[in-house]
Amino acid sequence: MIDPARLWQSLTPAMALAVLPAVAICLAGTAPQAVRLAVLAGGPAPSIIVSWKAFILTATLNSFIPGRIAELVKPMFLNEHASVPLGNGFAALFLERVLDVAILFGWTVIVASMAFVHLDWKFAAGVFVGLLGFMGVIPLFECHLLRLSQFIPMERARAFYADALAHTASTIREGRIITAFILGVIGWMLPIVGFYVFLQLALPVPIGFEGALSLFVVTTFSYLIPVLPAGMGAFEAGAVFVLQFYHVPAEQGLALGIVLHAGNILAMLLAGGAILTHDRIGLGEFIKKIKSK
């Protein structure tokens, strides 16, 4: 049971200040993610700035739209502002998700091995290689996968499927997927460093990198819960759960979760708002264009 009085006492100005460098580091992590999106979108590749804007707007809309439906913004924005074919954009989005699953699985295995149970590294490596190997199969069976288009009733949808499949296969075949994987690891690593910096500054007795990594992995899974936007509630519950393993009181853990979550959401909202204002994009008009696509 959370004591409201203790929770209020835990929400200190020092904690609010501690989140600032953490948020800055997390924002820096969007740069390699934007480069990755440009690499996966292929030629003619969009500029890094356009890719970054697509990434930030997606994160902004995900802050208040549940179910991560806003991920569709990336291919739509790239199509609208960089003339990237929708097939290429959706192929890039698919490859992004596969890479993210592989990377997150790797972090999860590390956390589980360090903090909870001992996992056989051979099993973990096998699953990890299997996830990456799944992508390697696509170019080999491209012709067979293309035949599945005959079951798609609409001609436009068939053409879209063919374009997306061809782009996915060429991205893997040309090795751009390796570059994207490295950029993805860097992009995920920076927020972990941000969490570490925050815990170092906000806790009287820092819990180390293991605790920061555990907190990052568990709270990241909260975003997968489709009911609430931005993982609200689930993020904070995950923070309390993890930090209790490191002897952090529930009230303080909840306070840390609230401040860290609010800081990241506010940063994305400000960045997204700045993009919409600078580019003179009306949010309602932009969403209407997405629906029309």
Structure confidence by residue, pLDDT tens digits, 152-188: 888 878 887 888 888 888 888 888 888 999 999 999 9
For residue 140, what are the contacts with CB-CB under 8 A and spacing of at least 6?
Answer: none
Q: Report residue 237 as tokens.
A: 């519950």
Helix (H) or strand (E) holding 242: helix 234-244
What pLDDT is recorded for position 230?
Answer: 66
Q: Report residue 208 as tokens.
A: 């180390």
Terminal Cα-to-Cα distance of the chain (whole angstroms): 48
Q: Report residue 172 as tokens.
A: 């893997």
Question: What range defines the domain where residue 156 resides?
Answer: 4-292
The count of structural domains within the chain is 1
With beta carbons less than 8 A apart as the criterion, state whether 230 and 60 touch: no
80: closest CA among 62, 40, 53?
53
Tell me the C-alpha distance between 18 and 199, whole Å.
8
What pLDDT is recorded for position 195?
Answer: 96
**What parts of the chain have a pLDDT lower than 50?**
none
Tell me the C-alpha distance between 206 and 199, whole Å.
6
Tell me the C-alpha distance between 240 and 218, whole Å.
10
Q: Report residue 10 as tokens.
A: 């835990």
Q: DSSP readout, 147-213?
A: HGGGG---HHHHHHHHHHHHHHHHHHHTTHHHHHHHHHHHHHHHHHHHHHHHHHHH-SS--HHHHHH
Helix count and strand count (H, E) for the chain: 14, 0
With beta carbons less than 8 A apart as the criterion, state whether 261 and 236 touch: yes
With beta carbons less than 8 A apart as the criterion, state whether 55 and 33 touch: yes
